[in-house]
Amino acid sequence: MQKLPKIGLPIILLVVVLLIFISKSSINIGYGEAGVLFKTFGGGVVTDKPPLGEGFHIIAPWNKVYIYNVKQQEVFESKMQVLSSNGLEISLDISVLYQPKIEELGLLHKTKGENYLNIIIIPQIRAVARSVVGRYTPEQLYSTKRDAIQNEIYEETKKVVEGQYVQLNAVLVRDVTLPIAIREAIERKLNQEQEALEYEFRIEKATQEAERQRIDAEGKATANRILSASLTDKILQEKGIEATIKLSESPNSKVIVIGSGKGGLPIILGNQ
pLDDT digits over 19-76, tens only? 565 666 788 899 999 999 999 887 899 999 999 999 988 888 888 999 999 999 999 9
Is residue 49 within 8 A of residue 27, CB to CB? The reply is: no
Distances (CA, A) of 219 to 82, 167, 205, 207, 228: 64, 69, 21, 18, 14
Distances (CA, A) of 168 to 71, 162, 175: 12, 7, 20
- Long-range contacts, 37-44 (Cβ 8 Å, 24+): 37/63, 37/64, 37/65, 37/106, 38/63, 38/64, 38/65, 38/66, 39/63, 40/64, 44/110
Interaxial angle between packed helices 122-133 and 146-161, expressed in degrees from 0 to 180 and rounded to the nearest 10: 140
The pLDDT of residue 86? 79
Nearest Cα to Cα of residue 172 among 141, 146, 209: 146
**Tens of pLDDT, residues 209-227:** 878 887 888 787 787 777 6
| Residue 121 DSSP label | I
The answer, as to whether pTM is greater than 0.95, is no
